[in-house]
Amino acid sequence: MTYKEWLQIWLNDYVKTSCKTRTCDIYAQAIRQRIIPHLGEYELRDLTLPVLQQFVSGLLRPKDGRALSSNTVNGVISIIQNSLKIANNLGYIENFDANKLIRPKKVEKKVECFSILEQKQIETHIKNGKKAKFYGIIICLYTGLRLGELLALEWDKVDLDACRLSVEKTCYYVKGRRIEDAPKTVNSLRVIPFPKQLLPLFRAMYKARKTKYVIESNGEPVSVRSYQESFSLILKKLKIPHKGFHSLQHTFATRALECGMDVKTLSELLGHSNPTVTLNRYAHSMLEYKVQMMNKLGKIFA
């Protein structure tokens, strides 16, 4: 059996029956674009450790000069390891050597956030525009919601009396089809208190609601791409350098640390698996806070 044939079986019988739709789509794309062109015609028994390691090295140092990120390569390695482990369990291959592959070091993506001045410009523009659809941008700045979580948020998950919202779903699009699913991890299921200063925005949106969704446009849910494009246009109009929508969450986290929020609380609000993830991602944002604390400590010497 060729690896290409086995990957199709693995996807259909083992991945699709146990993983979310989005995960299946990500795996299928990586298999189609990264793995099959190089390893698809190999017989399973010929996928030795040297063959696999050479393939991984090729992804990191391709001849055309377009190297993949270490995180992307690690994702491809996980597919190879998981698929070949099942093949080994079923007796299609005698030895499972893929677990010995040397992985590239994981690199934490650079965190980009808006300055306080830029943040105020964005907030003022949206409030003056009085388009309820864009109030979601401000909500993200003060709750740390991800885009999919924002667009899947329904009014029955927002408690205006207690000033809190519950994150139970996210949304994404596959070939133009909207899919709503549970968040990626169990930690992403969370309750987020929001500042009482946001109540006027929420109440205005609730009063004008036409659907069950907090973010809507002409009585319809808003797509991820449409909202991203609208956000980009706002930045362009304000002449603020472009940053992805995820920068809103980074901005929320940075402002929270600047206000003195402890890392454990921030980690839970962001839906991270543990505070270490938060520390690694936002260590640079804590530098100013560290300086303040060290100067406070220095007063003992004075």
- Contact between 135 and 204 under an 8 Å Cβ cutoff? The reply is yes
Q: Please give the single-letter amino acid code of residue 270.
A: L
| Mean pLDDT in residue range 69-80 | 92
Among the three residues 100, 126, 145, which one is the final residue of a domain in this structure?
Answer: 100
Same domain, 27 and 71: yes
Per-residue pLDDT tens for 91-104? Answer: 999 989 999 999 98
Residue 300 covered by a domain: no
* Half-sphere exposure for 149 (CA within 13 Å, toward CB): 28
- Contact between 65 and 16 under an 8 Å Cβ cutoff? The reply is no
Same domain, 64 and 132: no
At 175, the pLDDT band (50, 70, 90 cuts) reads confident
Residue 295 covered by a domain: no
Nearest Cα neighbor of 111 from 285, 288, 276 is 285
| Mean pLDDT in residue range 277-283 | 83
Residue 86 covered by a domain: yes
Among the three residues 48, 68, 100, which one is the final residue of a domain in this structure?
Answer: 100
Residue 68 covered by a domain: yes
The two structure tokens encoding residue 18: 């146990």
Same domain, 62 and 190: no
Residue 111 covered by a domain: no
Per-residue pLDDT tens for 238-269? Answer: 999 999 999 999 999 999 988 889 999 999 99
Averaged pLDDT of the chain? 91
Same domain, 184 and 124: yes
pTM: 0.79
Residue 40 covered by a domain: yes
Residue 301 covered by a domain: no
| CATH code at position 277 | 1.10.443.10
Same domain, 32 and 149: no
Domain of residue 51: give its range: 3-100
Same domain, 125 and 88: no
Of 41-50, 259-268, 291-300, which range is least confident? 291-300
Residue 10 covered by a domain: yes
Q: Please give the single-letter amino acid code of residue 15.
A: V
Same domain, 73 and 131: no
Per-residue pLDDT tens for 112-160? Answer: 899 999 999 999 999 999 899 999 999 999 999 999 999 999 999 999 9
Among the three residues 41, 66, 100, which one is the final residue of a domain in this structure?
Answer: 100
Same domain, 129 and 253: yes
| Amino acid 137: pLDDT | 97
Question: β-strand 158-159 against 190-193: which pairing, if any?
Answer: unpaired
Q: Which range in 16-30, 83-97, 271-285 is most confidently predicted, on average pLDDT?
A: 83-97
At 233, the pLDDT band (50, 70, 90 cuts) reads very high
Same domain, 85 and 212: no
- The tally of domains found in the chain comes to 2
Same domain, 197 and 77: no
State how far the alpha carbon of 119 is from the alpha carbons of 147, 229, 234, in Å: 17, 18, 12
State how far the alpha carbon of 53 is from the alpha carbons of 7, 40, 50, 289, in Å: 18, 15, 5, 44
Distance CA 81, CA 55 (A): 13
- Contact between 114 and 124 under an 8 Å Cβ cutoff? The reply is no
Name residues whose C-beta falls within 8 Å of residue 285's C-beta, 6 or more positions apart in sequence: 111, 113, 253, 254, 257, 258
Same domain, 37 and 141: no
At 217, the pLDDT band (50, 70, 90 cuts) reads very high
Same domain, 73 and 167: no
